[in-house]
Chains A and B, each alone.
Chain A
Amino acid sequence: MIGYALRRLGFGAVVMFLVTVFVFMIMRLVPGDAVSLQLQDTGVSKAEADAMRAEFGLDDPVWVQLWTWLGDAVQGDLGTSFYSGESVVDLFLARIPVTVQLGLMAMMLGAVLGLVVGVVAAATRGSMVDGAMRLFAVAFLSVPNFVVALLVLTGLAIWFAWSPPIVYTGPAEDFTSWAQQIAIPVIALGTGGMASVARLTRSSMLESLGSDYIRTVRAKGVRERVVIAKHALRNSTIAVLTLLGLELATVLGGTVIIERMFSLPGTGQLIYQAVLDRDYPVVVACTIFYAGLFVITIILIDLLYALVDPRIRSGKALS
């Protein structure tokens, strides 16, 4: 088990290194850097621009920049923003709470609703309820999260002439205002997750409901409600947990567009602005942070699987 875990971690490190190389390569290979973008209308002489590049270390070859960055990153220094001059770590820490709140609430909403819908659909398999719920699930998978947000906004604006407050306030300062502002983003991000959780729950519930041990439980005379809630559902949790882990990536990706729409000061907003400004240190740090989060989730899921299924540990089941 430990060997397996170490192998997974090694794999994660390799992928993270490649992500870093990849990000550096794309950024430096394309024309137009931060300095020329920043100075394009100011008429600064070429010598001064070069001096600025030297200050930021942009005139070094790519691999030197990569090496310097890696060296600093290991020591917990992710560089300073070209624009605000703040340390990237600080910028990041200031914005993480918003994204975490948003992401967690959206995932919880999706998980709870999805489980309920999935279980009901599986329990009433083949009925009208089941059909309607399946259709609903595909429909919700098909409406992109920003469209959900837009439609909710439109509906509220037309029928109640209401729109969320524009300036973000933390939950500690003004709870009502915060709740009003974050409700639509949470719903928008949660529905997609809900649909996929519902579908997975349904299919894996059906799988376990058809299995021998459920027949035994039924034969024992256990009530149907208990069969479903206790025996069948428990067997589906792993699959659902896996999906939720992977859902994290989607939710995080979704925050980029949703945070921008609702002007929430989270990491999604940060990365969007940084990419537009070509604020290299921030872009690199954000991308690597997102990728790192994703890789860690994957490794955790892998370990979870290995914990459950000994065949995977030996590496025989994978090929």
Chain B
Amino acid sequence: MTQKPTLTDEAPAVRSAPKPPRPPRRLGVRQVLTALRTFVRSQPLGAAALLLICFFVFVAVFAPLVAPYDPVQQFRRDILEPPSGTYLFGTDDLGRDVLSRTIYGAQTSLLIGVVTTGVSLVLGTAIGVVSGYFGRALDVVVQRVMDSVQAIPGIVLLLFIAVILGPSVRNTIIALTVVITPSFNRIARAETLRVRQEPYVEAARATGAHAPRILALHVLPNLLASVLTLGSLIFAGVIIAESALSFLGIGAPPPTPSWGLMLSEGVRYVERAPWLIIVPSIALSIAVFSFNLLGDALRDHLDPRLQRRALDRVTGLWWGRRMLSRLAPSLSRAADKN
């Protein structure tokens, strides 16, 4: 009974065949690898940034193995030595190896960056999602508090908290977390407001799903992209802020190897020993650059332009703001107040 199938018979049947219900997505090694591959293909610059970040993390984690010397050991005979075979990037005014200090500085930056970004990402997202999903009085109160934290320029608030708590790595983390959490809150809340009105959330609510289930299964996965993108850009900001604080002398206390501290110590020897400024500057800039680049690439990759356009048409004001929040998240802090 085999009949030669004609195009008209077969093709639509194949194309429109109902897909079998997809098994729940599991996040295995393979999925991650596939996601990574598509990302690398569509965003070569982002892939390069990722590579740089891997390098940065590697150097920071294995600092004791990579660094030629102890970062706080003072070679009293070799003070302000220019770069040479013994000291690849020279030594500072106390005879410490600049390369080793730079490498350990990556450790400090990474530690502060990971902890701060991680904590404020979780905290800010939780606050934003809950506040956006439940709305009403809770939302109003929470958002006004967040607004007021954001209304104080970041560096002033940082200065304030860091000085009051005293200079240490832990207190730098606390200060930065306070400053950054509202940014995550804002983006998470805005996305929650959007997702909340989607038909699938309504459907879930109609089937009687409880709020925690809806939040975990339907809301959170849908705002992950925005939050992660912001996370990458914020990470860059945290690295800058950390070095700014230690540059001002209220971040990590000396002898801690920190890029900002190295810069502030090097200022006095600008003419005699420019490598004291140049080496940490380059390290700092490259680290920030790669996180910014990654954030940029993630944004383009995870949020195709088409979707954004459709969204913009619905919400008038959103456009300029959204653009801003993408380009300069720290600048567009007070958006979405209602």
Q: Are the CB atoms of B296 and A138 closer together than 8 Å?
A: yes
Query: Which of chain B's residues have a CB closer than 8 A to the CB of A26?
Result: 160-161, 164
Q: Could you name 26 residue pairs across A and B whose Cβ atoms are closer than 8 Å?
A: A15-B148, A18-B144, A18-B148, A19-B151, A30-B164, A32-B164, A138-B289, A138-B293, A139-B285, A150-B267, A154-B274, A157-B270, A242-B320, A242-B321, A246-B324, A246-B332, A246-B333, A253-B155, A253-B156, A272-B159, A283-B160, A290-B152, A290-B156, A311-B316, A317-B316, A318-B315
A-contacting residues, B297-338, CB 8 Å: 315-318, 320-321, 323-324, 327-328, 330-334, 336-338
Q: Are the CB atoms of B331 and A144 closer together than 8 Å?
A: no
Which stretch in A42-50, A81-89, A94-102, A254-262 binds the other chain? A254-262
Which stretch in B59-67, B116-124, B213-221, B236-244 binds the other chain? B236-244
Dominant secondary structure at the B interface: helix
Which stretch in A67-75, A176-184, A196-204, A214-222 binds the other chain? A196-204
Query: Which of chain A's residues have a CB closer than 8 A to the CB of B263?
Result: 146-147, 150
| Candidate in A19, A27, A154 with the most chain B CB atoms within 10 angstroms | A154
Q: Are the CB atoms of B289 and A147 closer together than 8 Å?
A: no
Query: Which of chain B's residues have a CB closer than 8 A to the CB of A199?
Result: 327
* Assembled-state Cα–Cα distance A147/B58 (Å): 24
Closest to A250 in B: B331
Closest to B240 in A: A144
- Nearest 10 A/B pairs, CB to CB: A18-B148, A142-B289, A253-B155, A317-B316, A246-B331, A253-B153, A142-B288, A291-B151, A298-B334, A144-B240
Answer whether A290 and B331 are a contact pair too, CB < 8 Å, given A30-B165, A138-B293, A150-B277: no
> Does A56 sit at the interface, judged by CB under 8 A?
no
Q: Are the CB atoms of B324 and A242 closer together than 8 Å?
A: yes
Q: How far is the CB of A292 from chain B (nearest CB, A)?
A: 8
Q: Are the CB atoms of B274 and A317 closer together than 8 Å?
A: no
Q: Mark B208-235, 1 if CB is under 8 A from A, else 0.
A: 0000000000000000000000000000
Query: Which of chain B's residues have a CB closer than 8 A to the CB of A317?
Result: 315-318
B-side interface residues toward A, CB under 8 Å?
144-145, 147-149, 151-157, 159-161, 163-165, 193, 236, 240, 243-244, 247-248, 263, 267, 270-271, 274, 277-278, 281, 284-285, 288-289, 292-293, 296, 315-318, 320-321, 323-324, 327-328, 330-334, 336-338
Q: Are the CB atoms of B338 and A157 closer together than 8 Å?
A: no
> Does A153 sit at the interface, judged by CB under 8 A?
yes
Q: Are the CB atoms of B292 and A138 closer together than 8 Å?
A: yes
Query: Which of chain A's residues have a CB closer than 8 A to the CB of B323?
Result: 200, 203-204, 239
Q: Are the CB atoms of B155 and A257 closer together than 8 Å?
A: yes
B-contacting residues, A142-163, CB 8 Å: 142-144, 146-147, 150-151, 153-154, 157-158, 161, 163
Query: Which of chain A's residues have a CB closer than 8 A to the CB of B336?
Result: 318
| Candidate in A18, A19, A150, A319 with the most chain B CB atoms within 10 angstroms | A150
Answer whether A144 and B284 are a contact pair too, CB < 8 Å, given A161-B271, A238-B320, A276-B163: yes
* Assembled-state Cα–Cα distance A256/B157 (Å): 12
Q: Mark A272-291, 1 if CB is under 8 A from B, else 0.
A: 10011010000100110011
Answer whether A305 and B320 are a contact pair too, CB < 8 Å, given A151-B281, A290-B152, A291-B151: yes
* Assembled-state Cα–Cα distance A271/B88 (Å): 40
Query: Which of chain A's residues have a CB closer than 8 A to the CB of B163?
Result: 275-276, 278
Q: How far is the CB of B307 from chain A (nearest CB, A)?
A: 15
Q: Are the CB atoms of A196 and B328 closer together than 8 Å?
A: yes
Q: A22-B149, A151-B281, A153-B267 are in contact. List 16 more A-B contacts (CB 8 A).
A: A16-B151, A18-B147, A32-B164, A142-B288, A144-B285, A150-B263, A154-B277, A157-B274, A163-B271, A246-B328, A246-B331, A250-B331, A271-B159, A287-B152, A309-B316, A315-B338
